[in-house]
Amino acid sequence: MKMQLLGSSVGQEEEDQFLTSFLVDGSLAIDAGSLGLQAMEIQLAVTDVLLTHSHVDHLATLPVFLENRLGPERIEPLRVWANESVAAALQTDLFNGRLWPDFLHLEHGGVPIMDLRILTPEVPTQIGRHRVTAVRVDHPVATDGFFLETSEARVCIVGDTGPTERIWEFARVGRLDGVFLEASFPDDLQELAKLTGHLTPRLFAGELDKIGRDVAVIAFHIKARHRMQVEGELRALSRPTLRIGRSTEVYTFPWAPA
């Protein structure tokens, strides 16, 4: 399984993360914060998008991405997978004819532009070659982390969350090759992190302890303004399997560190 944190910097350092998207094995995307900013060949290869929640930094370029897929050739509808809360937000707040045309119901060449599908928490769903299980995490809006599983690997990705429990119960059972986990704010903004449903390096370390085993861990969703401080605090944790997420790297599982 190959996973890449997609870049969202324009005129900034490559490491700065303003928006969130992942690409998995070339065809599956997780969140669409920066998906619509990628090279056209990357966008056109995506067939399915998983959405963790409805906050704009995870949805920002979904409308543009959908528009970028439209051309003279006939294409299959983009399958968008989300929980019921996210689906409702897409319908009422985004594709409502005011902020953006109603791509939920419009067709192109006789084919729907998108196919919105509901992911039920804790029920495995086969999406292409990936078996996906959504598990609710702790954030102000209904938010899911995901387990992605193939015959070669099983990876957990936990985007926006504060301290949480249920997803680590799933992580402690069966194979686990890697974890992607957010680390938004520095430790001196821990109260803000708790208030907004995010982690600091100190809280991040507490979440890792709940996994109960050593696996590859990639920290991401680091607020750009605080990146240097957060990265320094993460390194100070001295966790040998911890890496700082970079959009210039492709993470391959099973994990084979250099």
Which amino acid, one-letter code, is at 215? V
pLDDT, tens digit (0-9, with 9 covering 90-100), for 19-43: 999 999 999 999 999 999 999 999 9
Strand partners, 149: 131, 154
Domains and CATH numbers, the chain: 2-252 (3.60.15.10)
**Position with higher pLDDT, 258 vs 219:** 219
36 dihedral zone (left: phi>0; alpha: psi -120 to 50; beta): alpha
Percent of the chain topping pLDDT 90: 88
Give the 3-state secondary structure of residue 68.
helix
Sign of CA dihedral 248, 159, 58, 228: negative
Per-residue tokens: 256: 């084979």
Instruction: Tell me how many helices (H) and strands (E) the chain has.
Output: 7, 16
What is the Cα–Cα distance from 258 to 255, expressed in whole angstroms?
Answer: 10
What is each CA distance from 32 to 67, 131, 196, 214, in whole angstroms? 13, 20, 21, 30
Per-residue tokens: 222: 């680091």
**pLDDT at residue number 67:** 94
* Strand duo 48-50 + 28-30: pairing: parallel
pLDDT, tens digit (0-9, with 9 covering 90-100), for 49-87: 999 999 999 999 999 999 999 988 877 899 999 999 999
pLDDT, tens digit (0-9, with 9 covering 90-100), for 148-174: 999 999 999 998 999 999 999 999 999
**pLDDT at residue number 109:** 85
What is the Cα–Cα distance from 30 to 12, expressed in whole angstroms?
Answer: 23
The answer to whether residues 23 and 29 touch, using CB atoms and an 8 Å cutoff, is yes
What is the Cα–Cα distance from 195 to 153, expressed in whole angstroms?
Answer: 34
Q: Which residue has the tokens 């944190």?
A: 5
Provide the pLDDT confidence category of residue 11 given band limits of 50, 70 and 90: low
pLDDT at 4 over 80: yes
What is the Cα–Cα distance from 145 to 152, expressed in whole angstroms?
Answer: 20
